[in-house]
Amino acid sequence: MLREEVEDFSLAVLGAGTMGLGISALAVGHGVPVTLVETDAARARQAPAAVTVQLRMAQLMNALPADRERGELTVTGSLAGTAGATVVIEAITEDLTLKTKVLAEAAALTGAEVPLVSNTSSIPIDELAGHLPDAARLIGTHFMNPPYLISTVEVVRGASTGEATLSAVTRLLGALARKPVVVGDGPGFVTSRILHPMINDAARVVQEGTATAEAVDTLMRECLGHRTGPLSTADLIGLDNLVDSLRVLAERTGDQRAAPCELLLDKVRDGHLGRKTGRGFYDYGKAQP
């Protein structure tokens, strides 16, 4: 990717949760300036340090270009910060009402040619698009965690997504050295529709006392080739995010296999959300940035 092509982009990321921070770190590490919008004051204060930690980890893993200056990171509590962006990526909680609210506000603050990207894990893009004045601007991306390490990105094209929007987002992913895989719309798309119910089943096995989390993950890694194991993956996703996604799938598909099991719900109620809180199916000692 040529330097001048990287400089074509200025990214606004909405939400400084796990994925918002990860996407911001990926972009900054590839030389793309980012305005990170976070209305929660405590999260906003912590965001620069959290992004720095991810950048340091990415550098240690040789996951960022060594010859490229970092992009500038600006953290703000106002959606007005999206005004100069060439692409807006929404990465807030998996809630239809909240997502459509911030996407509509961002749409009003940005130019008609600026793509609006929802980094949703389960909510159909067409469902979100129905709440926007120009559905052609909306597209879905599903970055995996951590974004700097997983180079393939699921791109979800809704029925109304415009060709110019798809082209711009494909170019952005190229600038970030990501490989886009374009899929059609539907609850959970491909990755979440397959992976999240499988994780739910793995949690049920532990809930029923058939096996420990360690045993489940070992068998899935060493017998079936799952790279990290489903329950370790759940801790990386965030158990609260996983539960939200499973509820979306259960509501929109009618598949009760996707309804989050009691063990997941108990862990979320107890605040044991995975790596980000220091404890989930495994104990990580301290919260991760």
Domain map (residue ranges) of the chain: 1-184, 192-277
Quickly state the pLDDT bin for 3 (edges 50, 70, 90): very low
Q: Say if CB 10 and CB 85 are below 8 A apart.
A: yes
Q: Which two tokens stand for residue 161?
A: 């997504």
| Residue 126 CB burial class (10 angstroms; 0-12, 13-18, ≥19) | middle
Reported pTM = 0.91
Question: CA neighbours within 13 Å on the CB side: how many for 34?
Answer: 31
Q: Which amino acid is at 252?
A: R
Mean pLDDT of 18-40: 97
> Rounded to an integer, what distance in angstroms lies between the CA atom of residue 50 and that of residue 37?
14
Q: Say if CB 94 and CB 248 are below 8 A apart.
A: yes
Q: Which amino acid is at 212?
A: T
- Residues in CB range of 119: below 8 A, 6 or more apart: 19, 20, 23, 89, 90, 91, 140, 141, 142, 143
Lowest-confidence pick of 7-11, 136-140, 245-249: 7-11
| pLDDT of the residue at 286 | 73
Instruction: Tell me the C-alpha to C-alpha distance, in Å, between residue 86 and each of 28, 34, 92, 175, 177.
Output: 15, 10, 19, 13, 18
Residue 88 scores a pLDDT above 50 = yes
Q: Say if CB 253 and CB 187 are below 8 A apart.
A: yes
Fold annotation for 192-277: N-(1-d-carboxylethyl)-l-norvaline Dehydrogenase; domain 2 (1.10.1040)
Q: Say if CB 90 and CB 139 are below 8 A apart.
A: no
Q: Class of the 1-184 domain?
A: alpha beta
> Rounded to an integer, what distance in angstroms lies between the CA atom of residue 101 and that of residue 140?
16
> Rounded to an integer, what distance in angstroms lies between the CA atom of residue 229 and that of residue 202?
9
Helix ranges (H only) for 30-162 are: 41-60, 96-109, 125-129
pLDDT digits (tens, 9 = 90+) for 39-80: 999 999 999 999 999 999 999 999 999 888 999 999 999 999
Mean pLDDT of 212-224: 98
In degrees rounded to 5, what are phi and psi of residue 152? Answer: -105, 135
Long-range contacts of 176-181 (CB under 8 A, 24+ apart): 176/26, 176/27, 176/30, 176/32, 177/1, 177/30, 177/65, 177/151, 178/26, 178/143, 178/147, 178/151, 178/152, 178/153, 179/151, 179/152, 179/153, 180/152, 180/153, 180/155, 181/152, 181/153, 181/154, 181/155
Quickly state the pLDDT bin for 219 (edges 50, 70, 90): very high
Q: Residue 274 carries which DSSP code?
A: B
